[in-house]
Structure 1
Amino acid sequence: MRSAVVVNPVKVADLDELRETVDGALGAAGWPAPLWFETTPEDPGRGQTEKAVSAGVDVVFACGGDGTVMSCVSALVGTDVALAVLPQGTGNLLAANLGLSTDLAAGLEVAVEQGRRQLDVGAVDDAYFTVMAGMGFDAQMLDATSETTKARIGWPAYVMGAARHLRDRPMRVTIRIDDRPPLRRRARSVLVANVGRLQGGVTLLTDAEPDDGWLDVAVLTPRTLRHWLAMGWALVRRRGSVPRMEVYRARRVEVTSNRAQPRELDGDLIAPGRRLAAEIRPRALWLCVPQPQEAPDLAADAEAAGERGEELVEEARRE
């Protein structure tokens, strides 16, 4: 199997050690040495991944945070080249949602075992997301969270960023879902999700699956601190409905605000704007995942148990 590593050097403590570990593990599995590409502020991974695809690789290792993964995904959509995630950042939402290990050795083993899963992706203009896109509060939170704090304490840094914007005024949005009549809301955030889990292990959308052919749309409408607390408590408990949150399913969704809003894709900020339009691309990405555990052969076990039961009955009769 031919492979390439697209690595964000800012996220890696010792690049030489990483290279030695990856080359050694792949060599031990009989793979040729991978191609290596480093991301830059100007190109966070898409161009490097396109070069890897053109070189004829079978697997691209995305080694960095969610932004690196998203950039690699944008170049892999619609190809037969698989993505393998080697998480190095503080978010790693795709890995968390799909139960992928954050351990380097485990990530390499998953790719070598060649377990594969086709995922849906969301398309926003010429970019793609595997986790979620958002407009409003979620992007404000990301903008208010410093990289230094994230590096020091991890995901709780987002809580500190969120606290700065809890009292901001809502946005007036029009939401068009497929061909249905438009919805008009005063919302704090609109999230368009391919999976349901947020930072810190909180599940926002319990029914979101990455390969069901749908985008799940969450419209958050809290107006007071009490509303935020009630919503957060309901999300943590996951019992019954979540107050101040509406959920819809869509193939296409377009959100238009009365004023320019911060926006994000997979935890990375994109240019602010009044509009966020996304559509689903079903099963457009191959992802390296652990091989499924072999299920016990229940039929064979039942047959064996039946045969043994007959033997015991015959023995009893003879006695």
Structure 2
Amino acid sequence: MTTDAVNAEFTEAAHTASTIAPTAPFFVVMNAGSGRKQADETRAVLEDELGAARRRFEMCVVDDPRELDAAAREAAEKARADRGVLVGAGGDGTLCTVAQAALAADVPFAVLPRGTFNYFSRDHGIPADLHASTKLLLDARAYPVQVGFVNDRMFIVNASLGLYPKLLEDRETYKQQFGRSRLVALWSAVYTLLRRHRHLHFHIEHEGRTREVRSSTLFVGNNRLQLEQIGMPEARAVEHGLLVAIAPRPVGRLAHLILSLHGAAGRLSDSDHVMSFTFDRITVTRPHASKAKRRRVKIATDGEIAWLDMALEFRVSERPLLLLKPEPAVAEANRS
């Protein structure tokens, strides 16, 4: 089958929706890390909107982020037993954890955006307003959407290694001190980029070929909106069964900052210091690394940090996630 035929098949599948039963219950999982006040507000809106429609729901508020995965899996099992919908309430990191439980249990997934950037929900046209996104639960259909994996860890927006995970760690530290805002995120990124950082040396195996790469970071994108915002021409590839790999070439700290400013201005592809390509599966290894000495590496998936063993396999999931979202034309109009 040709690439164009595969893309056409993938696009057609992405527009095939499943109707949710009008009596299907909702099992909502929320990370309370952003504050108990936000959790109380979310519960009140659920009681208002879903209660008025006489739809049953259960809400699980997780106080300890380390318990989020177990809570999501438990809620997913309830959703499967009751033919219901698993709902994630939070930012992209929380949504990814809950979405992975939904994918494993083969149940529909829905979103109540409660984060700072909300790339996943915005890309799929899900309104940021809590009342509007809750009302959407009542009549939205489930569409298959693409997710990625790095080894056995899922991501819905992006995955990365190298400097980018450090940026995220520093951003979280600053947010704890100065609050959660995009301005705090911007200044923490500038500070991190101006500090000394080392370049990684790794091999990327792709379609039977191996390329040697030196870079401060390897970024893998699965979100059209985010890729468009930084100016990558491959952004629409994620709608056709592919992921996008981005790796800046070795440059100094000031040049790296300028490169980041290009991305913030939506002109990253204008730079000669960026390598990018699309793929459905790649393997990343350390040169000359033996199997007896498997090295662990820090990975960021949707803003959450983890340590994984090399080699790293980035791939498109064989099964899509079934996401409750607006009809395609409405979703496209809502993207922002």
TM-score normalised by length of structure 2: 0.76
Q: For the structure 1 residues 155 and 193, does the alpha-carbon distance in structure 2 shift closer, same or farther, using more than 3 Å as the test? A: same
- What is the aligned partner in structure 2 of residue 146 from structure 1? 172
Decide whether the 8 Å contact of 1:118 with 1:211 is kept in 2. no
Decide whether the 8 Å contact of 2:156 with 2:222 is kept in 1. yes
Decide whether the 8 Å contact of 1:262 with 1:270 is kept in 2. yes
What number of residue pairs does the alignment pair up? 291
* 1:99 counterpart (82, 103, 125): 125
Distance, in Å, in 1 between the alignment partners of 2:228 and 2:137 is 26
- What is the aligned partner in structure 2 of residue 250 from structure 1? 279
Give the alignment's Cα RMSD to 1 decimal: 2.8
**Contiguous gaps of at least 5 residues in structure 2:** 1-23, 288-294, 331-336
- What is the aligned partner in structure 1 of residue 14 from structure 2? none
Distance, in Å, in 2 between the alignment partners of 1:224 and 1:139 is 19
- What is the aligned partner in structure 1 of residue 315 from structure 2? 279
Mean CA deviation greater in 68-77 or 251-260: 251-260
What's the offset of the Cα at 1:212?
1.8
What's the offset of the Cα at 1:140?
0.8
**Contiguous gaps of at least 5 residues in structure 1:** 295-319
Distance, in Å, in 2 between the alignment partners of 1:173 and 1:3 is 44
What's the offset of the Cα at 1:265?
0.6
Say which SS state the counterpart of residue 111 (structure 1) adopts: helix
* 1:164 counterpart (184, 192, 199): 192
* 1:81 counterpart (104, 107, 111): 107
The answer as to 2:54 corresponding to 1:30 is yes
Larger radius of gyration: 1
What's the offset of the Cα at 1:25?
0.6
Mean CA deviation greater in 5-14 or 194-203: 194-203
Decide whether the 8 Å contact of 2:296 with 2:307 is kept in 1. no
The answer as to 2:210 corresponding to 1:182 is yes
Decide whether the 8 Å contact of 2:33 with 2:65 is kept in 1. no
- What is the aligned partner in structure 2 of residue 302 from structure 1? none
- What is the aligned partner in structure 2 of residue 231 from structure 1? 259
Distance, in Å, in 1 between the alignment partners of 2:152 and 2:97 is 11
The residue type equivalent to 1:158 in the other structure is A
- What is the aligned partner in structure 1 of residue 182 from structure 2? 155
* 1:126 counterpart (131, 135, 152): 152
- What is the aligned partner in structure 1 of residue 300 from structure 2? 264
What's the offset of the Cα at 1:204?
4.6
- Give the structure with the higher percent helix: 2
What's the offset of the Cα at 1:97?
2.8
Decide whether the 8 Å contact of 2:249 with 2:273 is kept in 1. yes
- What is the aligned partner in structure 2 of residue 116 from structure 1? 142
- What is the aligned partner in structure 2 of residue 304 from structure 1? none
Say which SS state the counterpart of residue 154 (structure 2) adopts: strand
- What is the aligned partner in structure 2 of residue 303 from structure 1? none
Say which SS state the counterpart of residue 100 (structure 1) adopts: coil
The answer as to 2:163 corresponding to 1:137 is yes
- Deviations 1:262-312, CA, capped at 9 Å, x for gaps: 310111111265543221114510112123458xxxxxxxxxxxxxxxxxx
* 1:289 counterpart (312, 325, 330): 325
Decide whether the 8 Å contact of 1:208 with 1:215 is kept in 2. no
Say which SS state the counterpart of residue 317 (structure 2) adopts: strand
